[in-house]
Amino acid sequence: MNAAIVLFPGINRERDMAIALEQSSGHKPRMLWHTETDLSGIDLVVLPGGFSYGDYLRCGAMAAQSPVMGAVRDFVARGGYVLGVCNGFQILTEAGILPGALLRNAALRFLSRDCHLRVERADTVYASRYRRGEVFRAPMAHGDGNYFADDATLDRLEGEKLIAFRYATPAGEITEAANHNGSARNIAGIYSPNLRVLGLMPHPEDLIDPLMGGTDGKPLFDGLCSALAA
């Protein structure tokens, strides 16, 4: 599998992502500077977490206008796989590749803590190593992760089963208390209609080593890397 991690100025979780991908695939991902536009030979594009352009205009808004994003749009249109985490998810929504927007957390504060995610469907390359309804833990670290879309969009996402993960209790209940950032319908991550683009706020890449407190995030990368290696 040839994975590429896109580097926008201000991105800062690219190393975490590279470690996770290498651990699961055995290959170091390519680092792609935001001015590059050639994605030939690449199977997976990852937009990592961070503060592209300092989040100064609106999270992800400026990165969404980068030269590389034109190429990413074409890549998506050709059926390419794209994973956007945290700032990467924000960039995907700003680029119009995924619907909705990420607003300030409901409490108006940055939140860095572990959350629990319920797997809403397991028949995707990203979730194949989890079971539907399974709950896994992942660190969250964001100030703007409050997923918002209008009701029609939310209904469509639910109707087409494009919700990837929801914030849940450890037992899998979808409650307000488990919804740390106030996201609409507890949505933590969503898929594109062809299930090949995933955007999510929490960081499974930071929970892949028992020494760091667990390996709950590892199945996502194991499943993804083995599916795309085939």
Residues taking part in catalysis = 86, 203, 205
Which 110-129 positions form the footprint of other proteins (CB under 8 A)? 110-113
Dihedral of CA 99/102/107/108: which sign? negative
Task: Please report how close the Cβ of residue 91 comes to other proteins at its closest, in angstroms.
Answer: 15
Question: If you ran DSSP here, which 8-state letter would residue 178 be given?
Answer: T
The rounded distance, in Å, linking the Cα atoms of 88 and 86 is 5
- Is residue 158 helix, strand or coil? helix
Nearer to other proteins, 76 or 200 (CB): 200
Closest by CA position to 160, among listed 193, 190, 132? 193
Closest by CA position to 92, among listed 196, 16, 180, 222? 196
Task: Please report how close the Cβ of residue 186 comes to other proteins at its closest, in angstroms.
Answer: 19
Closest by CA position to 129, among listed 228, 10, 52, 226? 226
Task: Please report how close the Cβ of residue 192 comes to other proteins at its closest, in angstroms.
Answer: 27
Which 34-93 positions form the footprint of other proteins (CB under 8 A)? 49-51, 53-56
Nearer to other proteins, 56 or 132 (CB): 56
Task: Please report how close the Cβ of residue 108 comes to other proteins at its closest, in angstroms.
Answer: 10
Residue 124 near residue 195 (C-beta atoms within 8 A):
yes
Which 158-197 positions form the footprint of other proteins (CB under 8 A)? none
Element containing residue 221 per DSSP (H, E):
helix 218-229
Query: Does residue 213 interact with other proteins by CB under 8 A?
Result: yes
For tokens 């190429």, the residue is 71
Query: Does residue 109 interact with other proteins by CB under 8 A?
Result: yes
Query: Does residue 28 interact with other proteins by CB under 8 A?
Result: no
Nearer to other proteins, 111 or 227 (CB): 111
Strand residue runs (E) in 63-122? 81-85, 101-103, 111-119
Query: Does residue 15 interact with other proteins by CB under 8 A?
Result: yes
User: Is 38 exposed, middle or buried, given 0-12, 13-18 or 19+ CB atoms closer than 10 A?
Assistant: exposed
Query: Does residue 216 interact with other proteins by CB under 8 A?
Result: no
Catalog residues that contact other proteins under the rule CB under 8 A.
9-10, 12-13, 15-16, 19-20, 33, 49-51, 53-56, 107, 109-113, 139, 141, 143, 203, 205-206, 208-209, 211-213
